[in-house]
Amino acid sequence: MDPPVVVDSNDDEIVSHELEQMRSILEEAILETRSTPLENRPRLPRIPLSKRNRAVVRALNPILVTYLEASRELCETNSILFGAAVAVCRIIGAKLPMGGRATTQSSAIPAWRKSIEDRIVKARALIVRLTSFRSGNNRPRIARTVRIAFAGTNISLSQPDITQKLTERIDDLKQKIDAWGKRIRRFTERSRKFNQNCLFQSDQKRLYKLLERPKLCGAGQGPDQADIIAFWRGLWSDPVNHSEGPWMEVVASQGASVTHPTLWTPSPQRRKTWLRRSVGPRIGKFRGSTGCIITG
C-alpha cells in the first residue's frame, strides 16, 4: 500500500479517505496480534523519524483512544499497542520479518563454518589423490592434482624421495583437518551451552526434560583396548611404536661412565684472603640527589 500523503486540513475528503484506510489497517493488525501467540510475534524494526513517519503516528494516535478506552486487561492493551506498531510499519512500507523469528533459534550455518567444512572436504579429496599417487597410480588427472598440491615448492614428481614428501604432505593435511574439526566442535559446544542457558531462563521445565533424556552414544560396551592402540598407531601414514624403555636404558648407560667430580678444598692462605675481603660492608662515596657527597 502507498504511504499516506500529508495534505492540508482544508481538503477534508482526502484526509477522511486516508484516515479510513489507516483505521482499517490498524483494526486488521490488532485482530492479527490478538490471535497470534506472544512467542510468534515478529520483531519490530527501527523506523526513521522522518516527517512523513511522524505524521502517520500523529494520525493514528486519536484512533487508538477508542481501542484503549475499551480495553479491560493488560494483555489486551499490549496487543493493541503492538498492533498499532505493526500498522505503522505497514503504512510506511517498512519490512516486517515473518512470525516466530524473534524467539526461535536460527538454523543457518555461519559462513566461517561453511568455509571450514569446504576446506575439510577439499583436504580429504586431496589426501585420497595423494595416497593413490603414492600407491602407484600415475594417471594424468592424479599427477596433475599432485603437481598442484606441491605448487610453489622445489619438489618434483621424479625425485627419489617423492614418497617421503607425499607422506609428509598427507600427514600435514590430516593435522589441519583435525585442527579444523576441533574448531567446529568448540563452536558447537559453546552454542549448545548458550542455548541451554537461554532455555533455562525461559523454560526450565523443558530444559530439565531435555537433560533427562537417555544418551544413545554412551550405552553399550566400550571399544577394545587393542583396537584403540591400533587406531592411534595407524593414525599417521608411518606407524610409530611409542616405547620409553630402550631410549631410557641408552641414556642411563651413557650416564654411568660419567665420574663424579672430586671435592676441592681451598688452601688456608686463600681462605684468609676471602675473609679479609668479605668482612664488613663496602664503604664508598657517591653523590646524592641534593648534590652533596654521601658516604655509606
Task: Tell me which DSSP letter residue 154 carries.
Answer: S
117 plus 88 within the same structural domain = no
| Burial of 107 from C-beta contacts in 10 A (0-12 / 13-18 / 19+) | exposed
Which of 211, 228, 258 corresponds to the end of one domain? 211
Distances (CA, A) of 241 to 70, 220, 227, 232, 254: 83, 30, 14, 10, 23
Here the cell at position 257 is 661412565
Domain annotation covers residue 261: no
Which of 37, 64, 92 corresponds to the end of one domain? 92
Domain annotation covers residue 232: no
User: Which domain does 154 fall in, by range?
Assistant: 111-211
Q: 180-228, pLDDT tens digit by residue? A: 999 999 999 998 899 889 888 888 888 888 887 655 555 567 778 788 7
Which of 57, 92, 127 corresponds to the end of one domain? 92
User: d(Cα 94, Cα 88) in Å, to the nearest integer?
Assistant: 8
CB-based contact 177:118 (threshold 8 Å): no
Q: Please give the tally of structural domains in the chain.
A: 2
pTM, full prediction? 0.40
Q: What is the percent of the chain with per-residue pLDDT over 90, rounded to a whole number?
A: 12
Q: Rounded mean pLDDT of 69-86?
A: 86
Q: 215-224, pLDDT tens digit by residue? A: 555 556 777 8
